[in-house]
Amino acid sequence: MSILENIQKDSQDGLGVQVDDGELKSIAKLAEEQTMLEAVIKEAELQLKGHKEKLKQIAEVQLPEALQEVGLSEFSLVDGTKVSVSSFYSARITMENKEEAFDWLRKNGHADLIKNTVSVSFGRAEDDTASSLLTKLDEDGFHPEQKEWVEPMTLKGFVREQVEKGNDLPFDTLNIYVGQKTKITKGN
């Protein structure tokens, strides 16, 4: 059953406002157009995802490996386009390995990477209580919320620095990935 037929049936069954066929056709046409556009967008998004995966494979694996095989890290084309390969780094602390990662950072002199926020919520007219919180927290029964984290860009920079210095890092604990990536810069 088409969208138009469904709208007409609902209108006739008293499920909607009575509208004439011209209005129904216009509404049905818009609904069909929306449905068609949703399908087109979904397909385009799938194609885009495939293109991104293919680009990643070429830029991060195939082209860097090809350059490495011939002993090059960069070259220029006659039109001035420059092709170069450089290292890139990623790291991520997951909830599953947060405790282990923070322990490693603290034990290895990198505790300054960890941000630590403790907060307590107070109701109205509790400014005095808030001021004396540090000395009275346990006595007053307040339960602070604590959040510890490492900023992603800080972690990435730290990993890059440590890897380039040749220092040992817990690759699994910090979910470290070091790869190569090509960059193509168009000439003038």
Locate tokens 């440590």: which residue?
162
Check pLDDT > 60 for residue 138: yes
Q: Provide the pLDDT for residue 187.
A: 78
pTM of the model: 0.58
CA atoms of 27 and 136, how far apart (whole Å): 66
Percentage with pLDDT > 70 across the chain: 79
Q: Is the dihedral of CA 76, 77, 80, 84 positive or negative?
A: negative
Q: Provide the pLDDT for residue 172.
A: 93
Q: What is the pLDDT of residues 4-63, one digit of tens each?
A: 666 656 655 555 556 677 788 888 899 999 999 999 999 999 999 999 999 999 999 999
Check pLDDT > 70 for residue 119: yes
Q: What is the mean pLDDT of the chain?
A: 86
Residue type at 175? N
Q: Provide the pLDDT for residue 67.
A: 93
Check pLDDT > 80 for residue 136: no
Percentage with pLDDT > 90 across the chain: 64
Read off the pLDDT of each residue in 161-178 and give the average, rounded to a whole number.
94
Read off the pLDDT of each residue in 136-158 and give the average, rounded to a whole number.
80
Beta-carbon contacts of 41 under 8 Å, excluding residues fewer than 6 positions away, are none
pLDDT category of residue 127 using cuts at 50, 70 and 90: confident
In a 10 Å sphere around its CB, with 0-12 CB exposed, 13-18 middle and 19+ buried, how is residue 83 labelled?
middle
